[in-house]
Amino acid sequence: MLVIISYDIEDDKTRTRLAHQLKDFGPRVQFSVFEADISESELRNLNKMLGAVALAKDDSIRLYRICESCAAKIKIWGSGKVTQDQEYYIH
């Protein structure tokens, strides 16, 4: 499933740590926005990780689940493409 994670975090250290952790799930598509094509188990891990972030009063993290038919309708102006799960082949 495709998920979008966005955040607005004031503290540089917390924001940087979160960005590094999110790179394990998918690519950064804008400064504070990541896309991830993940499984249900990866989603559980992501939710657990996001829930553990120490947020200040005005900080926020948002996670949006994008259904398959909605993902097919995403439009991008400018550079970039919608994140898709990579196929892996083990020989």
Distances in Å between the Cα of 7 and the Cα atoms of 28, 58, 68 are 12, 11, 23
* Prediction pTM value: 0.84
Which range is least confidently modeled, 36-40, 41-45, 87-91?
87-91
Integer Cα distance of 18 and 82 in angstroms: 21
Domains and CATH numbers, the chain: 2-71 (3.30.70.240)
* pLDDT tens for each residue of 11-36: 999 999 999 999 999 999 999 999 99
Contact yes or no for 26/83 (Cβ under 8 A): yes
Q: Where are the alpha helices (DSSP H) in 23-84?
A: 40-51, 68-71
Enter the DSSP assignment of 30.
E
* pLDDT tens for each residue of 66-87: 988 898 888 888 877 777 765 5
CB proximity list for 33: less than 8 A, separation 6 or greater: 4, 5, 6
- Mean pLDDT, to the nearest integer, of 61-66? 97
